[in-house]
Amino acid sequence: MIKYILAALACGTIAGYSNNKLGDVFPNRFVSFYLFNACLVFLLFVMGFALGADKEAPVKIKRAGLRILVLPMTIALGSIVGGIVGGLLLRIDLYASAAVSAGYGWYTLAGPLMGQMFGPEWSALGFMVNFLRELLTIITVSVIVRVDKYAPIALGGATTMDTTLPVIVRYCGSDALVTAFTSGFTLSLMAPLTIITIASLR
């Protein structure tokens, strides 16, 4: 499955580069906005359908209760601490490095928001760091899952709600669907609030 994802990513990169070189033959706005959003909505529909088809999903959520929030909260804390450690090692702004990590893999949010809060350089870094988090989840999921069943969910962060959910279910098992979706959804809600909070403490 991973090889098909990487092949699609490579083909998309080549197609986008060729399109720009040929003078915008295919409208970028259509691809980047309408087609991208349509594919994302379809992906969420399929994952939602799979979640709804799981008769045990409501029971699992009810049984877990508030404990289901422990994993995303731990992931959030680990991400921020990791950002601070990275900032110390690189000798850069600790608040900004923590805020970058608080994107939890949501690069389309982290990039623009970091730009508003910390400047254009951090916007680029926020985008790249969180994009790489998503990409690394897809590439390494088959290896990371051997360490722990829920390790790919931690690595994926907010992306486990949508883009990395299919590969996580593929390698972690269908019983990880509820945990991954809930974790990704919670982190997606937390990401903008966490970044803004860290920026306000600067």
Report the interhelical angle of 94-101 vs 177-201 (nearest 10°).
160
Model pTM score: 0.79
Going residue by residue through the chain (202 aa), what tens digit of pLDDT does each one get?
667 767 777 777 777 777 666 655 556 666 666 776 777 677 767 767 766 666 666 666 666 566 678 899 999 999 999 999 999 999 999 999 999 999 999 998 999 999 999 999 999 999 999 999 999 999 899 899 999 888 999 999 999 988 898 889 889 887 788 888 889 999 999 999 999 999 999 7
Backbone angles phi, psi at 201, to 5 degrees: -85, -15
Which 8-state DSSP code applies to residue 35? I
Q: What per-residue confidence (pLDDT) applies to 113? A: 92
- On the 0-12 / 13-18 / 19+ scale of CB atoms within 10 A, 37 is exposed
Amino acid at 15: A
Question: Which of 139, 130, 116, 21 minimizes the C-alpha distance to 83?
Answer: 130
